[in-house]
Chain A
Amino acid sequence: MGKHPHIIKLDRSNGQREIVANHWLRVAEGCDDTIPAHTLLPLKEWLERRDELLGRADVGIWFAPDDEPEALGQDAARLSIIAVDFPAFTDGRGFSIGRLLRERYGFAGELRAVGDVFKDTLLYLRRCGFDAFEIRADKDVEEAAKGLDDFSEFYQGAADQPLPLFRRRGG
C-alpha cells in the first residue's frame, strides 16, 4: 500500500523506458466521500461505485491475485490505470491477470506491477502486458530496469508480441 517514490515506465510502442516520479496512491480501502485524484482503489470497491467512478480518469484500480478480470470486463477499456499486486514474486496469478486485461478486455492504459517486483520478474511482466513497474524499495531501480532486456527473442506469442516465433521464423 501507499506511494512509492519512483516507477519504471515503459513505452510499449518503442521499448523506451524511463524512471519517473510516481503520482498514484494505492489504498487498502477508499473513503465515503469523493475519492481523491490519483487513487488506486481495490477492484471490489471500484465495482461498488462503478457508476460514479467510470468517468474518472484520475481514479484507478488495483487487483489482488485472486481478483478476476472477468468482474471488470469491458469496463477495463475505459480505465487509464490498473495496478496488479504481486504479494510474492512467485505468485504467478498476476501474469494471467495482465494478459487477460490486455488481450481479452482491451485495456490500453498503464498496467502497473506492484509488490514484490524486481529485476528478475520484469521481462515476463513486460511480456504479459505490463508497462509500469514499482520496484521494491530496497532494490536498485536502475539495475532492475536492465532486466527488461534479459532476452531479445521469445518462442510464444504474448501481450507484447502476439505472434509466436514460429509465425515469424525465417521471415
Chain B
Amino acid sequence: MYIYDDYDQQIVDQRVDQFRDQTRRFLAGELTGEEFRPLRLQNGLYIQRHAPMLRVAVPYGHLRSDQVRALAEIARKYDRGYGHFTTRQNIQYNWPKLEDVPDILADLAKVQMHAVQTSGNCVRNTTTDQFAGVAHDEIIDPRPWCELIRQWSTFHPEFAHLPRKFKIAVCGSVEDRAATWVHDIGVHVVRNAAGEVGFKVIVGGGLGRTPMVGAVIREFLPSLHLLSYLDAVLRVYNRYGRRDNKYKARIKILVKAMTPEAFAAKVEAEWSHLKDGPMTLTQAEIDRVAAFFTTPAYQTLPAEDKGFARLRSENKAFARWVERNVFKHKQPGYAAVTLSLKATGVAPGDATDAQLDGVAELADRYSFGEIRVSHEQNLILADVQQADLPAVWEAAKQLGFATPNIGLITDIVCCPGGDFCDLANAKSIPIAEGIQQVFADQDYLFDLGEIDLNISGCMNSCGHHHVGHIGILGVDKSGSEWYQVSLGGRQGHDASLGKVIGPSFAQDDVPGVVRQIIEVFVEHRQGDERFLDVFDRVGMEPFKSRIYQKERAHG
C-alpha cells in the first residue's frame, strides 16, 4: 500500500481547509448554489433525493484495515450505519449532512483518505484489477502506475474543468479485469520485444448514453513518458472536446468525430512539445512508488494445504464457496478471497459499519491488513493462506459476506438507482432483489455458470449494463418506470456492448423476463457452455421469440 509522506498529507489537509471554507461561504450565501455545485462535485458531494451523498475515493480499490475501520466509524457517526461500494471501487454515504462534510473529510484525512475528484468534470479515481499484485496471470503490477496517475491527476490545474468527467483504468494482466476498453483512457502495462516496460494506450471507450469500445492510439509508450503523454491527451480533449452539449462532451465523441487516427496524430503533435520535458518520469520516482507495492512476507507453503483440500472434498458448501469466491494466487499455498456483497435482500455493494469492522478484523488476522474493492462491488482479501480458508469462510458467513455467487447471475452489479440517486429514471435495487429471488435455488444457480447481470437506473450507466451478459436499463416513459433488457455485452479484452432485445418491460415483469432468458439458455446449452457462448451461437432470436410471445411488452 502507498503510504503518504508529509507532502501528500499536507495536500489532503489543505483540501479539507479549502472545502471547509467553500462550505462556509455557501451556507453564508457568499457562493451561489450554481457556483458551489461544481466545487462540491469535485469533492464527491452530491445533493440527492433525500440528503447529500458523499463519495469517498478508494484509489485503485486499495484499503488498509485502519482505513476500513475509519469508514465504519464515519458510517456510524455521520450516516445511518452503512456505506455503498461503487463500480469505481469507491464508497459512498447516502445520508450525511452538508455541514458535517468538512468534519468527515478531516476524519478521512487522518487515515490518508479523501474525496478528491470523485465526481465533477475532472479526472476521476483511477481503477484497476482487484487482484493486482497477486493474480496468477499478471504480467506487471499496475498499482505503482495507478499511484503515479493518482498524483499526476490530483488537483491538476489545467484539467479541473474538462468538458465532462474523465475516467482512467489500468490493467497489467493477461485477462482484463479493469474494463479498460470502456474507459476514457485504458492503459495496458506491457513489455515490448526488448523486455522494456511500457503502455498500450486506448482512448475513447465509455458507457453512458453513447456506449463505445475504445481505440488503440499508441501500441507502445515507453514507461518514462506516461505522464507527459497523458498531459497531451488531456490537453487535446480539454481544448477540443465539445462543451455545447453535455451528452456529446465525453472524449469518445471527439475521438469518433476526428477518427482515432486523426486524434492520435493530434496527440502526437502535442506530445512532441512535452516529450522529454520535466514531466518525464524518473527511474528514482518509479522505484520510490513501486517500493510501496512489494510482495508481503509470504511463508513458504506447499501448493495445496491438506486440511483445506480435505474440507473441500467433504463439505459441498465449502467447495462451492471455494469454486466461486476463491481466486488463484501466484504464491503457492495462498489464495485471494472475494467477500460477496451480493446477498439476496441487501442492496448490491452495501456494507454496514459492523460488517466493515468485521472485514478489517479478517484482513488483520488473515491478509496482511489489506482489503481491496472490486469494480463489481465486492471486497477482496488478497493474501489468505489456504490453511486459513475454512476459518475465513466461517467468519465471512457470520458477516453475511459468504454468498458463493461470484461471477454468477446473482452477483449483480447495480447502481443505487431511483431509491437514492437524483439522476435515475428508475429504481434498480428492487430489480436486483427480484432477480436474486428467482435464483434462490443454489444448485440451479451454480449449474448456470458464469453470467454477468448488470443494472443501471439511467443512461449514465453507473451499473455498467452495456457490458453485462444481461444488461438492464431503467428508462422513463411518460413518468413511469420501465426497463430495457440487452443481451451479449461483455467486459475484458473482447469487450463489446449488449444489444437491446426489444421493447421495454414493467418493473414487475423483469424477474420473469430474466427467468425466461435463462430458460432459453438452458434449453440450447450444450454441456457446460457459458451463457455467452450459447448467446453467440444461437443469437438473439430464440430469446426474443420466447419473451415476446405473449403481449407483455409495452409499446
Q: Which residues of A pack against B, CB within 8 Å?
A: 89-93, 95-96, 99, 104, 118, 120, 123-125, 127-128, 140, 143, 150-158, 162-167, 169
Contacts and interface: CB of A to CB of B under 8 A. Distances in A.
B162 A92 contact: yes
Given A90-B121, A155-B11, A156-B156, A162 B278 contact: yes
B281 A92 contact: no
Contacts of B238: 92-93, 95-96
A155 B155 contact: yes
Contacts of A125: 157
24 contacts: A89-B161, A91-B161, A91-B243, A92-B121, A92-B160, A92-B162, A93-B243, A95-B160, A95-B238, A99-B158, A120-B22, A120-B31, A124-B160, A140-B30, A150-B18, A151-B11, A151-B14, A153-B7, A155-B11, A164-B152, A166-B281, A166-B285, A166-B288, A169-B5
B235 interface: yes
Majority DSSP secondary structure for residues of A touching B: loop
Nearest to B161: A92
Most buried by B among A96, A165, A166: A166
A72 to B, nearest CB: 15
A157 B157 contact: no
Given A89-B161, A151-B155, A156 B11 contact: no
A125 to B, nearest CB: 8
Interface string B261-303: 0000000000001000111011001001000000000000000
Contacts of B163: 92
Contact of B7 (A140, A163, A165, A167): A165
Contact of B235 (A96, A157, A167): A96
B273 to A, nearest CB: 6
Given A152-B10, A167-B285, 11 more contacts: A89-B38, A92-B238, A95-B158, A120-B31, A123-B157, A151-B15, A156-B157, A162-B277, A163-B278, A165-B151, A166-B288
A153 B158 contact: no
A155 B154 contact: yes
B239 A96 contact: yes
A157 B39 contact: no
Contacts of A99: 158
Nearest to B122: A92
A125 B162 CA distance: 14
A12 to B, nearest CB: 14
A157 B279 contact: yes
B158 A92 contact: yes
A153 B278 CA distance: 17
Contacts, number: 101
Contacts of A157: 277-279
A120 B38 CA distance: 11
A95 B157 contact: yes
B159 interface: yes
The 10 A-B pairs with the shortest beta carbon distances in the complex, nearest first, are A92-B161, A127-B157, A166-B285, A124-B157, A155-B151, A157-B278, A95-B158, A150-B18, A162-B278, A90-B161
B151 A90 contact: no
Nearest to A150: B18
B281 A153 contact: no
A156 B279 contact: yes
B157 A128 contact: yes
Most chain B CB neighbours (cut-off 10 Å) among A120, A152, A165? A120
A93 B158 CA distance: 8
A155 B227 CA distance: 11
A93 B236 CA distance: 10
Interface string B1-36: 000010100110011011000100000001100010
Given A90-B38, A96-B239, A158 B157 contact: yes
A151 B273 contact: no
A10 B14 CA distance: 21
A91 B241 CA distance: 11
B536 to A, nearest CB: 43
Contact of A95 (B17, B154, B161, B285): B161
B155 A154 contact: yes
Contacts of A128: 157-158
A120 B39 CA distance: 8
Contacts of A169: 5, 7, 285, 288
Contacts of A91: 161, 243
A124 B159 CA distance: 9
Contact of A152 (B14, B35, B158, B227): B14
Contacts of A153: 7, 10-11
Contacts of B278: 157, 162-164, 167
Contact of B152 (A120, A124, A156, A167): A156
B440 to A, nearest CB: 48
A126 to B, nearest CB: 8
Nearest to A120: B39
B7 A151 contact: no
Contacts of B161: 89-92, 95
